[in-house]
Amino acid sequence: MSSILFIALPLLFGFATPILNKFGKNAVVYTSTFMQTFLLYLAFTLLSSTTATIEIISIAPPLGISFVQNEISLFFVALFTLLMTLFSLYYIGHRKTNAYKNETKFFILLNMLLASSIGLVLSSDIFNIYVFFEIAGISSYILSAYTKSSSALEAGLKYLITGAIASVFLVFAITLIYLHIGSLNLAVISQGFETLPFNIKLLISILLLVGFGFKVEIFPLNFWVVDVYQGSTSLINALFSGIVVKAYLFVFFHIVYLFLPSGEFSIFLVYLGALSMLVAEIAGLRQTNLKRLFAYSSLGQVALIFTAFAMQNADAVQAALFIAFAHSIAKFIIFLSITSIQKEHSSFEIETLKELNSPFIRAIMLIAMLSLLGIPLFAGFIGKLLILKSLAVSSLIGVVVIIIVASLIEAVYYFKLAGFMFTKSEKKEKLKIDFSQKLVFSILAFLLIVIGVAPFLISGFLRESATVMLDNSAYILTLIGGN
Amino acid sequence: MSIKRTLPTSTISGFTLSAVLILTFLKILLENLPSSIHRAGDELLKLNTQEGVANAVTTVVVYFRGFDTLGEIAVLFIASLGIGLMLSENSQCEIKAESNFMLKTASTLLFPIITLYGVYVMIYGHLSPGGGFQGGVIIASAVLLLLISHKDFEVPHSVIVLLETLAGVSYVLIGLIGLFTLDIFLGNFLPHDVAQMGMLVSGGIIPIIYIIVGVKVGSEMSMIVQNLIKRGENV
Amino acid sequence: MFEYLNQAESIKNIVTIGSMVLLFIGLFGLLTQKHFIKIFISIAIMETAIFLFFIGNIFNKNFTAPIINDGFKNVAIMNDPIPHAMILTAIVIGMAVLALGVSFAIEYYKLTGNTEIDKMNEMRH
Amino acid sequence: MIGFIILFTFISIITVAFFSIIQKKEADSIILFMGVGLGSVILFFVFSAPDVALTEAVIGAGISSLIFLMALKHLKATA
């Protein structure tokens, strides 16, 4: 069993779809779902054997490309495959009434998105990371423009142009790294980065920050995000918010920790993240469109994860992993329920929630919102508590205040939404939800509550993952051996 | 005053912003010109002599960094898919004017020659400059010539899909065979004798993969070009 | 003057300055132009600038192209093949992204009749 | 001699790129952009990277400019 299958199988699936189409209309859908279930099984099998190993491709590192399997990368792989499998399950219910046009292509894009997100997390070669960055980008552009309405195309164009600019800066950074260090392997670069002249170090860091900054949705570079979320369908937004941005966040901080182990720019990144969170929550306050509102909420939460990662110590990274986990699941619930609501009501205004007649959806959305807010007994709580604690330990009281203020602002609009959901007014006829969709929602909500009530189930594992993520020498030892 | 045209503020601010940025870059870069250090490429050049492939760039593209090439094929595949998705099912926007006799004859005559050149570049990729990407795109440009000059010409869709599928599937399968025989994805499991360097059959899987890449790129690019010109039906 | 220009140091200076000026032109176009095609051309120019910067800086004029011939078998005096492979990949990827962008722009134009980037405001009613 | 070739080609590319950006008509921009591609082909060849030069010739200067021209045809057509 090797982690290369996470890339090879989706690619094989993508290339072989014309053959699959010969076997009838549903062959693609069921093959894809079956493959994702297999990958899910594979991810948990790999996760249970806890030794860090590498998977060689073509030739051995440091010259060739290889995948590093350790606790932290497999955690994200398992999370992504789990979410993608649930997404497919949801879509199987959704397609009975509202199937996408050209479903084959839709499934190819979904699997490419999954493969590239996993590739970003596993890869240990910076140019290979760029290639996966582009695959993830290009499938996201197409997915956001998929419905070909004018707003979807506008979203796709904005996403594409910003993505193309980001990749120019990323290639520039990789170029400088190769010119000055002479290798593309992350471990070798990590060893050589210390000795570079300060100016070059600064330039490479800024270029990487700009290149990834567009994708991790950080403050001055996130002007496009909200439009993309509003233009795309809410089904796709679940993927953007749950999977893609998490992959970018992980790979960005993975690179930051490897290149700058002593945290020279850490404090700058912390303030950048806190500022982004505040700006996003303030801007979210006035929104009346559900997708736009949750896009701002997504920006805020991602900025919170960014802040936590930027602290660069084990406590904060553990907190970041907690929040990332809770946020992915909660946003999946939110965007998938918006999809269900929109199927009946064909509107994205928050007033729609008043007419919503489905106790199930209301309960599920409430759970997700409470978790996003960080109410005790839900998964979001423990993450927020940990990040505030570790900020207080580092005596960054200013950041603590900013985060609390931003969370309060977030609470205002969540309670407004909850108010809309539970006002007595004329209800429409009952919202029909498919059994498979109910199953998906129940699994997600169950995860949120279980982790909220009993965080000790995964906190030990996340703690270990956080230490692994911060431990450069272990990574270098795994990748290129001890020399 | 009237002679001097006033520039819009956006132009001036854009100019200033980019100038400041680039001047900073330039200052840092000129102060720290890269010295000739020992790089990974030097090691690869030495390793390349063991693979029996004359063109080191081909070895790096197809074998040492073959995974990037697989990703690149995936990018082209998705882009072609996306373009097909965007431009299909629309009102046809045909080229209206009929091209004249000379152009038609000349392009018909040139088509096999350009295709032959593309195939040459593709097959000799491991011996001389060139390879799958270049050869594939050259073939696509031959198709483009026919598409522009002949109003009714259309690339047979089923053939393209067949080629594309075969090439893509066999690329991944070659990788997986390497995984099962050598325990290394994309490992060179075919014999690659150094003594055969410079011959057409040398280098194990490297020329085979580059030809597959060529077929794949050629069909994807032909599809992209056809979609952009004809906006024909797709899938 | 030719001797001065031929020194390794001055070649690197020319390459660095030239490609940065090219990058500046691309960035300037990106910030000031509005038509979709112009935007894509600006991005393509920026990409080209980075590629030239990389290949030009890795280039050593005493070394040969990384191809083994009957005459050249000494791998110690060959130019580094990794940058060539990387740029090859990057050129193809860049082209694919721009082609996709062009197709988005065409569809967007068919629906809205708009070809300018700062008039894209479907979302802000 | 090689230094002079590099300098001269760079100056030409920069001039062509600048005019390509400031053209009023998009068609002219695209034609001039092909010039940028052509110049970089020469440079890649001088930098002893024949593979990159060939790729840039067929992709950077060839197909992508043609794609832009095709797109321009659609963008000029009445909706």
What would the mean pLDDT of B227-231 be, rounded to a whole number? 78
Task: Say how many C-beta atoms besides its own lie within 10 A of residue C52's C-beta.
Answer: 28
How far is it, in rounded angstroms, from Cα A442 to Cα A360? 10
Q: Read off the amino acid at residue B21.
A: L
Establish how many alpha carbons lie within 13 A of residue B222's alpha carbon, considering only the half-sphere containing its beta carbon. 28
CATH of domain C2-62+76-117: 1.10.287.3510
Return left, alpha or beta for B130; rule: phi > 0 is left, psi -120 to 50 is alpha, else beta.
left
Return residues 23-62 of B near C (CB < 8 Å): 25-26, 29-30, 33-34, 36, 39-42, 44-46, 48-49, 54-57, 59-61
Closest to A84 (Cα-Cα) out of A55, A49, A109: A109
Would you call C115 an interface residue with chain D, using a CB distance cutoff of 8 Å? yes
* Distance (Å, whole) CA A324 – CA A271: 19
Local structure of residue A271 (DSSP, 8 states) = H
- Inter-residue contact A190 to A260 (CB < 8 Å): no
| Contacting C residues, span 95-114, partner chain D, CB-CB under 8 Å | 95, 98-99, 102-103, 105-106, 109-111, 113
Do residues B67 and B185 lie in contact, with contact meaning Cβ atoms separated by under 8 Å? yes
Residue D67 to chain C, least CA–CA distance (Å): 7
Distance CA A444, CA A377 (A): 15
Cα–Cα distances (Å) from A433 to A89, A310, A369, A480, in that order, read 13, 41, 20, 51
Q: Report the half-sphere exposure of B82 (CA within 13 A, side-chain side).
A: 36
- Cβ-nearest to D3 among C5, C87, C103: C5
Q: How far apart are CA B20 and CA B14, in angstroms?
A: 10
Residue among C39, C54, C93 minimizing CB distance to A134: C93
Phi, psi of C66 (to 5 degrees): -75, 55
Six-digit token pair at C82?
A: 């990794």
Cβ contacts of A224 within 8 Å, gap of 6 or more: A158, A159, A162, A214
ipTM, 2 decimals?
0.93
Q: Which residue of C has its CA nearest to A171?
A: C50
Q: Which residues does A415 contact at the CB level (< 8 Å), separation at least 6?
A: none
Instruction: Tell me the average pLDDT across C5-20.
Output: 89
Q: Which residues, in sequence order, are bridge partners of residue C116? A: C35
- Residues in CB range of B208: below 8 A, 6 or more apart: B174, B190
User: How many other C-beta atoms lie within 10 A of the C-beta of residue A439?
Assistant: 14
Are A378 and A336 in contact by the 8 Å Cβ rule? The answer is no
Nearest to B72 among C82, C89, C104 (CB): C89
User: Which chains, if any, share at least 3 CB pairs under 8 A with chain A?
Assistant: B, C
Per-residue pLDDT of chain A (483 residues; tens, 9 = 90+): 688 899 999 999 999 988 888 888 788 888 999 999 999 999 999 888 867 888 888 888 888 888 988 889 999 999 999 999 999 999 988 888 877 888 889 999 999 999 999 999 999 999 999 999 999 999 999 999 998 888 899 999 999 999 999 999 999 999 999 999 988 999 999 988 888 889 999 999 999 999 999 998 888 888 888 889 988 888 999 999 999 999 999 999 999 999 988 877 888 999 999 999 999 989 888 888 888 888 999 999 999 999 999 988 888 999 999 999 999 999 999 999 888 888 777 777 777 777 777 888 888 888 898 898 888 888 888 888 888 888 888 888 889 999 999 989 988 888 888 888 887 776 667 777 888 888 999 999 999 899 888 888 888 889 989 998 888 888 888 888 765
Kindly list the residues from chain D whose CB atom is less than 8 angstroms away from the CB atom of residue C37: 26, 29-30, 68, 71-72, 75
C24 touches chain D (CB under 8 A): no
Pairwise CB contact (< 8 Å): C97 & A163: yes
Question: Residue A454 is encoded by which pair of tokens?
Answer: 């009993």
Q: C25 and chain A: CB distance < 8 Å anywhere?
A: no
Amino acid (one-letter) located at B35: S
CB contact under 8 A, B55 and D74: no
Task: Mutation target for D interface from B55, B228, B230: give the one with most D CBs within 10 A.
Answer: B228
Tokens matching residue A43: 């991810």
Residue A430 is given by DSSP the state: P
For A357-400, the pLDDT digits (tens) are 788 888 888 889 889 888 888 888 888 888 888 888 888 888 99
Query: Whole-angstrom Cα distance, residue A480 to residue A124?
Result: 11
D21 contacts on C by Cβ (under 8 Å): 25-26, 28-29, 33, 38, 41-42, 45
Q: Where are the alpha helices (DSSP H) in chain C?
A: 2-6, 8-32, 36-58, 81-112
Task: Output the CA–CA distances (angstroms, integers) from residue C35 to B10, B226, C27, D75, in the order listed.
Answer: 15, 24, 15, 10
How much of chain D is helix, strand and coil, in % rounded to 5?
Answer: 85, 0, 15
Tokens of D34: 């092909």
Is residue B191 within 8 angstroms of chain C, CB to CB? no
Distance CA B171, CA B185 (A): 11
**Cβ–Cβ under 8 Å, residues A358 and A421:** no
pTM, entire model: 0.94
Give Cβ neighbours of residue A475 (< 8 Å, ≥ 6 apart): A68, A70, A186, A187, A190, A258, A468
